[in-house]
Amino acid sequence: MANTSLSTREDKPREALSRATPLRRHSLYEAVTERLREMVLEGELEPGSRISEKQLCEAFEVSPTPLRQALKVLVSEGLVEMLPNRGARVTEVDVEEVADLFEVMAVLEGLSGTLLATRASDAEIAEIRHLHECMMEKFRKNQRNEYFQLNQTIHRRLAEIAGNRVLLELETSLTLRITRARYAANMQMGRWEESAKEHECLVEALEKRDAQGLSAAMSLHMRKTGNAVIQRLKQD
């Protein structure tokens, strides 16, 4: 009798699991976070502007709870700051901080290039080449937003393929803040053309598995991008 009771108790969790529905991949607050982050990065919410929780809740059709959770994430990313008893606002773009960010990113990209040359599989290198060709097609069609999105995807994949979790975490965190600076800078066409050529050199070095060349190409690309962004920010 005891054995039958034990068997019944063991069966219940199995039955519950069989009836369980798949969890949603993205929670509501994550969806709100993603959209709010886009609004900050792309300048829909301008640097220094106050964030109206009421207006955003109405626009997103959500309660204050997921919005406040999203704001906490953006605070941790340095995109939003909380004001005592005054709500939240978008942080200002600090030119000196941006310069510091690019300085660090240039070093991290160099390390990433060294790792990629030996750790990337042939399939992953082919994937990067494909993404690059898609990005260049957007460049030829002057589709700046689509180009930029693919650019971000390529840099993200390179960081992932490098196979160092600490490096990936650092680059992911810093890239968010650099991305915002690049949107704010609204780079001129000349730099866009130069950047596209740098990406071609980068992919060629990856295909050759040239560790030194790839490291130098990735580091140089980040430094030159940083210089262009900082110059434009100072003009503004």
pLDDT band at 21, cuts 50/70/90?
A: very low
Residues 201-230 as b or e (16 or more Cβ within 10 Å = b): bbbebbeeeebebbbbbbbbbbbbbbebbb
In this prediction, residue 18 carries a pLDDT of 46
Give the pLDDT mean for 38-65. 90
CB 161 within 8 A of CB 113: no
Across 20-24, average pLDDT:
41
Contact 113, 219 (CB under 8 A): yes
User: How much is the pTM?
Assistant: 0.73
Cα–Cα distance measured from residue 147 to residue 25, given in angstroms and rounded to the nearest whole number:
27
Lowest mean pLDDT among 8-12, 80-84, 167-171: 8-12
- What is the per-residue pLDDT for 11? 53
Q: Are 195 and 135 in contact (CB under 8 A)?
A: no
Name the residue type at position 173. S
d(CA 181, CA 186): 9
% of the chain exceeding 70 in pLDDT: 86
* Total Cβ atoms within 10 A of residue 78: 16
Q: Distance between CA 84 and CA 88 in Å, rounded?
A: 9
- Asked whether residue 24 carries a pLDDT value surpassing 50, the answer given is no
Flag whether pLDDT at 77 surpasses 50.
yes
User: What's the confidence (pLDDT) of residue 26?
Assistant: 61
Of residues 78 and 50, more confidence is placed in 50
